[in-house]
Chains A and B, each alone.
Chain A
Amino acid sequence: MAALEEEFTLSGVPLGAGPDGLLGVEPSDKTDQFLVTDSGRTVILYKVSDQKPLGSWSVKQGQTITCPAVCNFQTGEYIVVHDDKVLRIWNNEDVNLDKVFKATLAAEVYRIHSIQGTEPLVLFKKGAVRGLEALLAEPQQKIETVISDEEMIKWTKIFMVFKHPVLIFITEKHGNYFAYVQMCNSRILSRYTLLPGREEKPVIQSFTASVDRKFILLMSLSSDGCIYETLIPTHPSDPEKNQVVVRSLLLKAVVSGNAPNGVALSVLDRDHVAVLETSPSAPKDCLSIWNIKFQTLQASKELLQGTSGQLWYYRENLFMLHGKFLTVIPYKCKMSSLAGALGKLKHIQDPGTHAVPHFVNWETSQEYGLGSQNSEQSRILRSRKVEVSLQPAVSASTQLLLTIKNDTEKHIEVELRKFLAIKQTPDFHTVIGDIVTRLLGRCKAEPSFYPRNCLMQLIQTHVLSYSLCPGLMEVALEKTDVQTLQLCLQQFPDVPESVTCACLKIFLSISDDSLQETDISAELVFGYSDTVQDEKMEGQTEIMENGFNPKEENCNKEKPKGTTEETTLSPVTPKRAALLRNAVLHSAYSEAFLLPHLKDIPAQHVTLFLQYLYFLYLKCSENATMTLPGIHPPTLNQIMDWICLLLDANFTVVVMIPEAKRLLINLYKFVKAQISVYSELNKIEVSFRELQKLNQEKNNTELYSIEVLELF
């Protein structure tokens, strides 16, 4: 697991860093000592562990260092170039740079590369490369031009590949990038055109590279905040030809898109990269370590005083210019473990507070799609999203709870919408429950307050149940809000029988006019319960069973005229039918608890309900499968159970009502028919059993046989 350790500053004189920052930080031949070259005139040798400068050298006034000082590992001398062409070589004992060895070259130097195990190499601005020894032997030798006129070297690096130095440099021309790989021993120069990947914006801000035997892994950070990688072979197959390599996406949205200036990238090891981003708006910059393999953020650090957007990495130390001082952040990468790789939240903290470790909850985070996030965070990394989404949810709920206390219904609704839009935090249930309780509390306190829309929205979240908010249906019953009651009956799994019965009473007793005003989802009730005008349509929607049209059959042959009327005309209006059918019939109940409450329903209403149930039954029996059309039709059993229950509870009353007489006779006939059918079935069963017995006897007549058996 990669971790950034406590940073420290290399003290001493503030570096005269200009807007471009430092020229470079280069290792010297002694571990722990680094050469820092500022963009002015000074080279400082630092000992990092002591956080102290060991020596400092400056060029004369009027001269400018143009290339960072490096150490010649073979001799221990330091080399710097000032004014593009003047080469200076000195060692620790020298005090004044004016008095040290000086060589003036024929062309402008871009960089001197020095690396353990080989002589320093000088890269000229026009792309030529020379070894230092050869150059010093004849400083004024002619330097050829390798790259074309308008090409500019943007970045360069040296590697040792199989003990031979390989130098790579990237040039830019009109927004196109080219990579040159110089094999210094064989003097083979290969040129590659870097083609952008499909989704990439072409502006590249920073490069870094590592080498892996046969390939140079070139990483580039584009202005869209993503890291792309390019594989460049160290031993080109055909060095003469101009070759093309394509960049492919490696890591997405490392940097937020709108931080265009100053982004630095550095490869730390095979799996980790460090990214330093600077933002123009805020003075704080951010250093982050990413795991490429798992695409996770491993560590991050904010740098409040701003940086120059430059980053160097040598020997487990990250160097950067933080404010006026050179800051060193030691970096350690331990073995990657999954737990480590799962990552850490990029913690956006207030200045002064310490980072608190966060853990990703995979259970919840997986469900969160792209929510209503701020557009700046569009990383794949899930952890961040959780982080971001959690914050507003909590605040929204507190905000909402505050609003409920004293705001208007309209306002509460707006707030609730906001809250629901964020949705689904782990404590969503409790928050919703809390909101409902507060709302109901206010309802009770202020009789005029009844936020129906809010309540309906809350019910539709599917997380409420009767036991979570027992007051809700009570209030709805008080306000005779059939719409809410219907929703409750449909959504709540645990409505007690007394409440179901109270709802039923309201559904049956509410006047048609007031029902008409309400907005009830009468889904599919129209299809068959509405008056004659719908009949045609209904006929079309009905399923044809084996080419047999049950409706026709019903109307024309079997049923006498009177019942035909009944089958086609629902005794209740579609809206009421919807209430009864979709809400009451589906609700769960246990008979023993429901019966006493059913007795309280007035006789007229019982008759009406019975009529409607009987109508549903007839509708059912029209169909060969004995089902009602629709998405969630009540089953025949549900209908019959309700008929039985109603009759059980109110038979003595119903039998006295003249209007119900006809209905009761019909039901009686129906039961009688059923009984006769079943008794016939039982008779048939006996016959079948006898047949079965005969069959068995036939099989078992073989009482004696001689068989052949072979045992193995």
Chain B
Amino acid sequence: MGEFRVHRVRFFNYVPSGIRCVAYNNQSNRLAVSRTDGTVEIYNLSANYFQEKFFPGHESRATEALCWAKGQRLFSAGLNGEIIEYDLQALHIKYSMDAFGGPIWSMTASPSGSQLLIGCEDGSVKLFQITSDKIQFERNFDRQKSRILSLSWHPSGTHIAAGSIDYVSVFDVKSGSATHKMIVDRRYMGVSKRKCIIWGVAFLSDGTVISVDSAGKVQLWDSATGTLVKSHLIANADVQSIAVSDQEDSFVVGTAEGTVFHFQLVSVTSSSNEKQWVRTKPFQHHTHDVRAVAHSPTALISGGTDTHLVIRPLMEKVEVKNYDAALRKITFPHRCLISCSKKRHLLLFQFAHHLELWRLGSTVATGKNGDILPLSKNADHLLQLKTKGPENIISSCISPCGSWIAYSTASRFFLYRLSYEHENISLQKVPKMPAFLRSALQILFSEDSTKLFVASNQGSLHIIQLLEGHFKHLHTFQPRSGTVEAMCLLAVSPDGKWLAASGTSAGVHIYSLKELKAYCTVPAYNFPVTALAIAPNTNNLVIAHSDQQVFEYSIPDKQYTEWSRAIQKQGFHHLWLQRDTPITHISFHPKRPTHILLHDAYMFCIIDKSLPLPNDRTLLYSPVSLTNESDVRRRTAHAFKISKKYKPLLFMELLDERTLVAVERPLDDIIAQLPPPIKKKKFGT
């Protein structure tokens, strides 16, 4: 396959935001996750846990509660006092509405899904009616003394439980008055704490209210009498979240120590019908606070300050021991945050509120496999570009020539012209960018850097002609009539003739740039597209899907290529299909048309289409060390050349035929930037 010089980059100082809420939707098997920076992500659990959509964050919009209602409508509420509904098709905020109760701490949808209940800082509990396109305030419940931190509906919809500070109240929904007030013991291991915060409540259909609090207790109350039934002391720190399964036979709580406890309703004795909640399994997949938990029918889902989303399948619920039975830990976004100028060896890093431009170093030395070459020039940090305003950057791109940088936020689009004079860089903002370019989900420059392609969240694709210092709007491909699906992935052919775009769920559309019209659509496939690229010369479109399938589609022939058919016929290697991160980037070797480079977070692979395909009996991953000649021959036997040397791998690109750039983000570096976890004593416990 050959020898490469790899620029191994670890200075991308990216830290994902901590997870604040998770909400699981049973109907669509999707998971909504909100982060502390206000980002909301939608994961499709059926599509191999792919993060298919996201809503960019906003500094003032700290999400405190997230819930699904009326089927598949997603609402969030936060400390700015607003309730927000998201448009899951167009990927923007449908509307936001002030609840007039101060910061909102909690929100829950009624069992029927038609009402929304929020708990506010001022101690009020407000009921909203969900109408077909908006929400409408209905009434207030009896106001409590302190903020309402948690809420839960009784499955029949007649009562609610509200967790506050030091007590849990039970409200009658009809009258809106509190029927019981259950005071929680403040004492924590004999020491009286100042306050006991009820972080979470859950109302079960038999009238039991489960509360979790800052004293480390999980308590079960009888809502009819308002008495404490059972108390489990499970942690030395706060218990911050609770989620109950739909069958109400198990629930899960997350603690500030990073532990997730599973509780199950089990029979007291094998024969009797009397059942009891028993703490069954502790899981320690987090190092920091578990701020949010969810309970899907087959898995426990947890997330917290340490930024990992952990999906832990319940083995007793998993019917077949397949790939879904494995523990998933999702840390990095499933999209590319890095773009690269091949010509000038530049890397553009995208952060929430700024961009960084780096120039790669160089070396004159040569070496053999595994050598680290002495640098003749180190990497330079050229530029830091800060956004104005509270909005997060949605997408960004640097042109292949390195002289243009574009990025977009929810409300604006920015284009900059870079000029290089020896070691000096000057940056010039291109003024008067049209408003329709805002909230672009993907930005792409053509290979010759003369055109800019922008995929907007409205489903339209804009083509901008770039001229020296200014621009011209060339064309807009409008979405098919009736669809407003956002386009999130773009690919342009190196010869500038073709543009491929893919939405969140529907297939890949191909447009002819010469004729400026839609050319064809790749046959639909069930799983979302994770990466797209068009090969030079052949104009073959390579598509990677979240189920790890890779297709090659010939644009001129309007059909899948022979190679693609061959690999579909034989099937991918089972180990290839078992990888748990999606392919986020595809590129091609400039000199070897048969080579495709693709990577996910834990490996990169060069597929040599001229070699035979591996079957399930062959070794997919070649061993790390090379021992002898025959070994080498054996390893060159199949088309997939895989290296797991760089991980977690966020970006990989071929700069030229002998040079690769790999951007790694070691987990230890992320952990080092997180706040310290709660210290647990090792001695004297």
- State whether A710 touches B4 (Cβ < 8 A): yes
Known: A702-B10, A712-B632. A707 touches B373 (CB 8 A): yes
Task: Tell me which residues across on chain B come within 8 A of A682, comparing CB atoms.
Answer: 681-684
How far apart sit A705 and B370, CA to CA, in the bound complex (Å)? Answer: 12
Given known contacts A704-B9, A712-B635, is B2 in contact with A681 (CB within 8 Å)? no
Docked Cα-Cα span, A693 to B8, in Å, equals 23
Give the distance to chain A from B190, nearest Cβ to Cβ, in Å: 14
Are A696 and B668 neighbours in the complex by a CB distance under 8 Å? yes
The complex places the Cα of A312 from the Cα of B349 at a distance, in Å, of: 104
The 6 A-B pairs with the shortest beta carbon distances in the complex, nearest first, are A678-B684, A710-B369, A711-B1, A681-B683, A703-B11, A704-B379
Residues of A within 8 A of B672 (CB): 693
Q: What residues of chain B have their CB less than 8 Å away from a CB belonging to chain A?
A: 1-11, 361-363, 366-373, 375, 378-379, 606, 622, 626, 632, 635-636, 641, 643, 645, 660, 666, 668-669, 672, 681-684
**A675 proximity list for chain B (CB < 8 A):** 684
Given A709-B5, A711-B3, 7 more A-B residue pairs with CB atoms under 8 Å apart are: A702-B10, A704-B378, A707-B6, A708-B370, A709-B370, A711-B1, A711-B4
Is the pair B372, A705 in contact by a Cβ cutoff of 8 Å? yes
13 A–B contacts from the bound complex (CB under 8 Å): A703-B10, A704-B11, A704-B375, A705-B375, A706-B5, A706-B6, A706-B373, A707-B370, A708-B370, A709-B3, A710-B2, A710-B368, A711-B4
Closest residue of A by beta carbon distance from B3: A710
Which residues on B sit within 8 Å (CB–CB) of A696? Answer: 668
Given A678, A681, A708, which contacts B6 in the complex, CB threshold below 8 Å? A708
Tell me if A709 and B682 are in contact (CB < 8 A).
Answer: no
Q: Which residues of B have CB within 8 Å of A700? A: 10, 666, 668-669
Report the Cα distance A711→B635, complex, angstroms.
Answer: 10
Contact digits for A674-708, partner B, Cβ 8 Å, 1 yes 0 no: 11001101100100000001001000101111111
A141, chain B: closest CB distance, angstroms:
85
Say yes or no: A679 contacts B4, CB within 8 Å: no
In the complex, what distance in Å separates the CA atom of A520 from the CA atom of B234? 46
Minimum distance in angstroms from A708 CB to a CB of chain B = 5
Closest B residue to A679 using CB positions: B684
Interface-central residue, A681, A702, A704, by most chain B CB under 10 Å: A704
Chain B residues whose C-beta falls within 8 Å of the C-beta of A681 in the assembled complex: 682-684
A685 contacts B367, C-beta separation under 8 Å: no
Report the separation of the CA atoms of residues A675 and B685 in the bound assembly, to the nearest whole angstrom.
10
A212 to B11, CA, bound (A): 88
Nearest CB in chain A to that of B374: its residue: A706
Using known A-B contacts A681-B683, A700-B669, determine if residue A708 contacts B378 with beta carbons closer than 8 Å.
no
Q: Contact check: which of B369, B666, B668 meets A709 at CB < 8 Å?
A: B369
Cβ of B361 and Cβ of A706 under 8 Å apart? Answer: yes
The distance in angstroms between the C-alpha atoms of A679 and B606, with both chains bound, is 55
Residues of B within 8 A of A702 (CB): 10
CB of A712 within 8 A of CB of B666, answer no
B6: chain A residues at CB < 8 Å are 706-709
User: Contact: A712 with B1, CB < 8 Å?
Assistant: yes
A114 to B622, CA, bound (A): 80
Measured in the bound complex, the distance between the Cα atoms of B681 and A712 in whole Å is 48
Known: A675-B684, A682-B684, A704-B378. A711 touches B8 (CB 8 A): no
Whether the Cβ atoms of B5 and A685 lie closer than 8 Å is: no
- Given A682-B681, A703-B11, does the pair A708, B367 have CB atoms closer than 8 Å? yes
Chain A residues, CB < 8 A from B361? 704, 706
Residues of A within 8 A of B (CB): 674-675, 678-679, 681-682, 685, 693, 696, 700, 702-712
In the complex, how many angstroms separate the beta carbon of A659 from the nearest chain B beta carbon?
A: 30
In Å, the complex CA distance between A678 and B684 comes to: 5
Distance of A263 from chain B, by nearest CB (Å) = 61
**Cα-based distance from A685 to B363 in the complex (angstroms):** 43
**Contacts A682-B681, A682-B683, A712-B626 given; does A706 touch B375 at CB 8 Å:** yes
Complex Cα distance A674/B370, Å?
Answer: 52
Contact of B373 among A693, A703, A708 (CB under 8 A): A708
Residues of B contacting A710 in the complex (Cβ-Cβ under 8 angstroms): 1-4, 368-369
In the bound assembly, the distance between CA atoms of A675 and B681 in angstroms comes to 13
Contact A707 B8 (CB under 8 A): yes
B644 smallest CB distance to A (angstroms): 12
| Nearest A residue (CB) for B664 | A703
Which residues of A lie under 8 Å from residue B363 when comparing CB positions? Answer: 706
Question: Nearest Cβ in chain B — how far from A675, in angstroms?
Answer: 7
With A696-B668, A700-B668, A704-B361 as contacts: A709 and B645 at CB distance below 8 Å:
yes
Q: Name B684's closest neighbour in chain A (CB-CB).
A: A678
Q: Does B641 contact A712, Cβ atoms closer than 8 Å?
A: yes
Q: In the docked arrangement, what's the CA distance between A696 and B669, Å?
A: 10
Known: A685-B682, A704-B8, A704-B378. A712 touches B622 (CB 8 A): yes
Residue of A nearest to B379 (CB): A704
Chain A residue nearest to B626 (CB atoms) is A712
Inter-chain CA distance A711–B368, complex, in Å, is 12
A706, B372: Cβ atoms closer than 8 Å: yes
What residues of A have a CB within 8 angstroms of the CB of B682 in the complex?
681-682, 685
Nearest A-chain residue to B378, judged by Cβ: A704
Specify the chain B residue showing the minimal Cβ separation from A689.
B679
A220–B361 alpha-carbon span in the complex (Å): 98
**Which A residues are CB-close (under 8 A) to B636?**
712
Decide: A711 and B684 in contact? CB cutoff 8 A: no
Known: A675-B684, A682-B682, A702-B10. A707 touches B371 (CB 8 A): yes
A591 to chain B, nearest CB (A): 16
Contact status A711-B371, CB under 8 Å:
no
Structural contact, B7 and A706, CB atoms closer than 8 A? yes
Taken together as a complex, chains A and B put the C-alpha atoms of A707 and B10 apart, in Å, by 13
CB nearest neighbor in A for B661: A706
Complex formed: what's the CA distance from A679 to B683 in Å? 8
Known contacts A675-B684, A681-B684, A700-B666; decide if A708 and B9 are in contact (CB<8 Å): no
Cα–Cα, bound, A707→B362 (Å):
11
Complex contact A708–B4 (CB within 8 A): yes
Nearest-CB residue, chain A, relative to B13: A703
Bound CA span A678–B681, Å: 10
The verdict on A685 contacting B660 (CB below 8 Å), with A707-B8, A708-B3, A712-B632 known, is: no
